[in-house]
Amino acid sequence: MTQPPARLLILGRSGQLARALAAQAAGRFDAVRAAGREDADLARPGSATGLIAEWRPDAVINAAAWTAVDEAETREHEARAVNARGAGEAAAAAPALGARFVLVSTDYVFGGAPGAPFAEDAPPAPVNAYGRTKLQGERAVLAACPGAAVVRAAGVFSGAGSDFPSAMWRLAEARNEIGVVDDQLTGPTFAGDLARRLIALTLLPDAHGVFHCASGPQLSWAAFAEACFDLAREAGAPSARVKPITTADFPRPAARPADARLASTRLEAVTGLPAPDWRTGLSKALDAWLSSR
Ligand SMILES: NC(=O)c1ccc[n+]([C@@H]2O[C@H](COP(=O)([O-])OP(=O)(O)OC[C@H]3O[C@@H](n4cnc5c(N)ncnc54)[C@H](OP(=O)(O)O)[C@@H]3O)[C@@H](O)[C@H]2O)c1
């Protein structure tokens, strides 16, 4: 592909990232189509490939996934059908069209104990079913489409739906104090910042392999919750006290990595875009959350 891609297909329509991608891609491509499950169901063999063959995109960004981390523990085969088999099948349709393929993956392919942020080539070791299916998806995509780019993101938020800040602000409507884990580290990333970098990467035909995209400064979920409430307090929105707790205090069906921080060096070098600062994104997320209440 020597020309910039003219037709962009986004797999996913209602998801927080898919919506950010659609908003930012408009005007940058001749045609943009965001496909919902009814147009391209990754759990159904032939569904996404049918759409790709019919619509003939020059680039595909797969922002659709089974994202219910806890539910994946008991429904791993269903999560795998979407995140691994479905993603791989969609990617396999790209080379025949000369189309670019970009898969969004996750920091949960790592299961790290606290240490340094993970480099792109660090050995993955998922600690839950969701992470396993996403890693299988990465491998399926790169095997089917060696020119594909896989972008691992972390703690994606937008101020809409069930993302972490929205959940915190919603809980604060009913509670004065909220316990949040303080022994898990992350680099939460605003969906709009991730979308900008995914589009930049999509426009670079030679950028293939694994990339990381996480915002700074990286911190614990409890510290991030504090920031959500500090901002809400300034805006007169619901806020609460954060009670730092440990992972052991808050058992969940799926284990979480203690340190899922990502080093985004490769993405920054290739796109020229610095790692985003989640503080800017958090203000935008609060505006979005307040306007949708
Ligand atoms: N959220 C995070 O914290 C986070 C962190 C790291 C990486 N990621 C990755 O980022 C990407 C986008 O996540 P997100 O936060 O935007 O998730 P999201 O808001 O939960 O959206 C997921 C999207 O996937 C679609 N989907 C689910 N099953 C599907 C299927 N069988 N066929 C077609 N579409 C299907 C959903 O459609 P419906 O609306 O029809 O259900 C929805 O549009 C995913 O690859 C995720 O793994 C997310």
Position 5 scores a pLDDT of 78
* Distance separating alpha carbons of residues 77 and 74, to the nearest angstrom: 9
Q: What is the pLDDT of residue 1?
A: 46
Is 17 a domain residue? yes
Residue from 10, 17, 42, 85 to probe ligand 1 pocket by mutation (most atoms less than 8 Å from CB): 17
Domain presence at residue 104: yes
List 66, 130, 221, 289, catalytic entry: 130
Report which of 208, 155, 178 is spatially closest to residue 169, judged by C-alpha positions.
178
Residue with the nearest Cα to atom 19 of ligand 1? 15
* pTM check: above 0.85: yes
Q: What is the CATH number of the domain that holds 87?
A: 3.40.50.720
How far is ligand 1, taken at its centre, from the CA of residue 269, in Å? 27
Q: Is 243 a domain residue?
A: no
> Distance between CA atoms of 249 and 221, rounded to whole angstroms?
14
In a domain, 231, yes or no: no
Is 143 part of any domain?
Answer: yes
Once rounded to an integer, what is the mean pLDDT over residues 102-119?
91
User: What residue numbers bound the domain in which 145 lies?
Assistant: 7-158+188-217+261-277
Q: What is the number of other CB atoms lying within 10 angstroms of the CB of residue 14? A: 12
Backbone angles phi, psi at 228, to 5 degrees: -60, -40
State the amino acid at position 127 in one-letter form. V
Q: Do the domain assignments include residue 136?
A: yes
Please say if the pLDDT value at position 232 is more than 50: yes
Cα 24 to ligand 1 centre (Å): 18
Between 90 and 113, the higher pLDDT residue: 90
* Integer Cα distance of 285 and 278 in angstroms: 10
Burial class from Cβ neighbours inside 10 Å (0-12, 13-18, 19+) for residue 178 reads buried
Structure tokens at 248: 């052991």
Where residue 284 falls among pLDDT bands split at 50, 70, 90?
very high
* Ligand 1 pocket check for 257: Cβ under 6 Å: no
Residue 113's pLDDT band (cuts 50, 70, 90): confident
Mean pLDDT computed over 275-289: 97
What pairs with residue 244 in β-bridges?
180
Angstrom distance (rounded) from CA 151 to CA 140:
14
From the CA of 65, give the closest atom in ligand 1: 24
Question: How many angstroms does the Cα of residue 100 sit away from the middle of ligand 1?
Answer: 20
For residue range 118-174, what is the model confidence (pLDDT) as tens digits?
Answer: 999 999 999 999 999 999 999 999 999 999 999 999 999 999 988 999 999 999 999
pLDDT tier for residue 4 given thresholds of 50, 70 and 90: confident
The question of whether 130 is a catalytic residue gets the answer yes
Rounded to whole angstroms, the Cα distance separating 94 from 11 reads 13
Residue 223 has pLDDT above 60, yes or no: yes
The Cα–Cα gap between 163 and 158 comes to 7
DSSP helix, strand, coil percent of the chain (3-state; round to 5): 40, 20, 40
Number of H helices, E strands in the chain: 11, 12
- Specify if 88 maps to a domain: yes
Q: What is the pLDDT of residue 112?
A: 75
Question: How far is it, in rounded angstroms, from Cα 260 to Cα 10?
Answer: 26
Q: How confident is the model at residue 115 (pLDDT cuts 50, 70, 90)?
A: confident
Q: At what angle do helices 278-291 and 164-172 cross, to 10 degrees?
A: 50
Alpha helices in 29-93 (DSSP H): 47-55, 76-80, 87-92
Model confidence at 188: pLDDT above 90 = yes
**pLDDT higher at 112 or 193:** 193
Residue 71 in domain: yes
Q: If you average pLDDT over residues 243-258, what whole number do you get?
A: 94
Exposure on the CB side of residue 157, measured as CA atoms within 13 A: 33
Task: Confirm or reject: Cβ of 222 under 6 Å from ligand 1.
Answer: no
Q: How far apart are CA 147 and CA 150, in angstroms?
A: 10
The domain total for the chain is 1
Write the residue with the smallest CA distance to atom 4 of ligand 1. 156
| Strands 185-186 vs 219-220: parallel, antiparallel or unpaired | antiparallel
Q: CB of 87 closer than 6 A to ligand 1?
A: no
Give Cα separations from 228 to 29, 210, 213, 278, 281 (angstroms).
34, 30, 21, 11, 11
Number of neighbouring beta carbons within 10 Å of residue 173: 11
User: Could you tell me if the CB of 64 is within 6 A of ligand 1?
Assistant: yes
Q: What is the pLDDT of residues 86-99, one digit of tens each?
A: 999 999 999 999 99
**pLDDT at residue 114 above 90?**
no
The Cα–Cα gap between 288 and 241 comes to 22
